[in-house]
Amino acid sequence: MPDPFVVPEEATAAEAIAAIAEELATFDDWMERYQFIIELGKKLPPFPESWADDAHRVPGCQSRVWMEVEERDGVLRFAGASDAVIVSGLVALLLRVYSGRPAAEILATDPVFLKDLGLLEALSTNRGNGIAAMARKLREVAATRRAG
């Protein structure tokens, strides 16, 4: 089975946020941006069906979202999936920023970038709350791992 964990394209979370901002800026309207986000979700590594359970579910999301984490070589690698295409894209976007980073970098990367990129305003309230819940979950895991 292929590795389900997201390997970052950029060297740092800050570089990933800057790259995403540049990519989103190339589109003229939100329909094109939504399509771009949906395409990101389609590129997520395959998520094992056995992980699509309550133990892996992220609370606070209207759609079903599942995540798993592993620690390897001092970094946290995340896998994620959703039953909704736009939400899968949002999962991919978050994992591009946070996966494959040390816990300290994850904790230092405030999810305010979601607001700065205009994503929270462009999404429905429920989706905005959901992506905020996903970002919170990633950072809680990092805090736990750093403390542990």
Active site residues: 61
Q: How far apart are alpha carbons 81 and 67 in whole angstroms?
A: 7
Cα–Cα distance for residue pair 63/90, rounded to 1 Å: 12
Distance from C-alpha of 25 to C-alpha of 142, rounded to nearest angstrom: 30
* Cα 76 from Cα 112, distance rounded (Å): 20
SS3 at position 82: strand
Question: Helix or strand or coil: residue 67?
Answer: strand
CA dist 56 and 69 (Å) reads 10
Alpha-helical runs (H) found in 12-53: 13-25, 30-42
